[in-house]
Structure 1
Amino acid sequence: MTDHPIRPFPSDEAVRHVGEGLLDRTLPKEDWTHEAHLASCLWLLRERCDVVPERDLPAIISSYNLATGGENTDSAGYHETLTQLYARGVRAFNATLPADLPLVDAVNALLASEIAPRDWPLCFYSRERLFSVEARRGWVEPDLAPAG
């Protein structure tokens, strides 16, 4: 995959803005970046105990996509396997952080970690399996290496 520079967040408020915009479906579509996906998941784990990412993100992301003019099809929009893999990875990463670490520092540490690159899922999945309709629609087990 193409190497993308890390775009860190400047403040706790910037992270919360993305997470809250996802939940209330007001975040502009162009702001729903890879970094925003990861930051939102970590924010949910650290500050929104009422939301369980593994359980709730499918509906949250799917409804956000529709609200911002996107779609959820066999080739675009919500992707279950990617969502669940990153939710697990972000949860495991969060467990390694001090509980009192400021949100922005936690998010930026996540963005600098080994799970942040867009091609991280390809450590576990072949492209064919990961980008299959089956993987988009439901969880599929990795075919290259176990996913934590």
Structure 2
Amino acid sequence: MTTEYSPRLFAGDHDIRALGEGLLACSLPRAAWTHEAHLAACLWLLTERPDIDVDARIASLICAFNESVGGVNDDTQGYHDSITRAYVAGVRLFLSETRETGLTARVNALLRSEMGRRDWPLRFYSRELLFSVPARRGFVEPDLMPLPRT
């Protein structure tokens, strides 16, 4: 967790909202669905779409998007439940701690934070468990330490 990480930041609220709406509508180009986009969409859903139960719907939203761009959700590719749920916990933790206001400021601060790093779930999971088929196909409790609860 010492590797250099330089996230691609967002220019404005419109970009983040368009990304979130594109996820919901399955209208994003596949190339737009980056690590940063995943986190931005999660923060947007949690803060601006209280009508969507993220815990209940995140898997179906991402799976539907993946399939809409020709992706497959199986044992080796596509949606990964444990990673996604780890990041949802991380975004909630970030939101409980940040002093940032405004959508773009929050998303960009998240991307620069520990919770925004690509390797953040490996604080909680061994690599072997996290990248296992059971962890991809359903949520598996971490084996190193519990995920943060807010």
TM-score normalized by the length of structure 1? 0.94
Shift of 1:3: 4.0
C-alpha deviation, 1:145, in angstroms: 1.6
Whole-angstrom CA distance in 2 between matches of 1:90 and 1:52: 15
Structure 1 residue 7: deviation in Å? 0.7
Report the Cα offset of residue 95 of structure 1.
2.1
Q: Distance in 2 between matches of 1:27 and 1:60?
A: 13
2:29 is matched with 28
Aligned residue in 2 for 1:112: 112
Normalising by structure 2, we get a TM-score of: 0.93
Check whether the contact 1:54–1:88 (CA below 8 A) recurs between aligned residues: no
Partner of 2:38: 37
Give the Cα–Cα distance (whole angstroms) in 2 for the partners of residues 113 and 132 of structure 1.
Answer: 26
Distance 1:97 1:38 in 2: 15
Q: Name the CA distance, whole Å, in 2 between partners of 1:12 and 1:95.
A: 20
Unpaired runs of at least 5, structure 1: none
- The runs of at least 4 aligned residues of structure 1 exceeding 3 Å deviation read 1-4
Unaligned runs of 5+ in 2: none
Query: Aligned pair count?
Result: 147
Deviation at 1:4, TM superposition (A): 4.0
Give identity over the alignment, percent: 52
CA distance in 1, matches of 2:66, 2:4: 25
Q: 1:44: Cα distance to partner?
A: 0.6
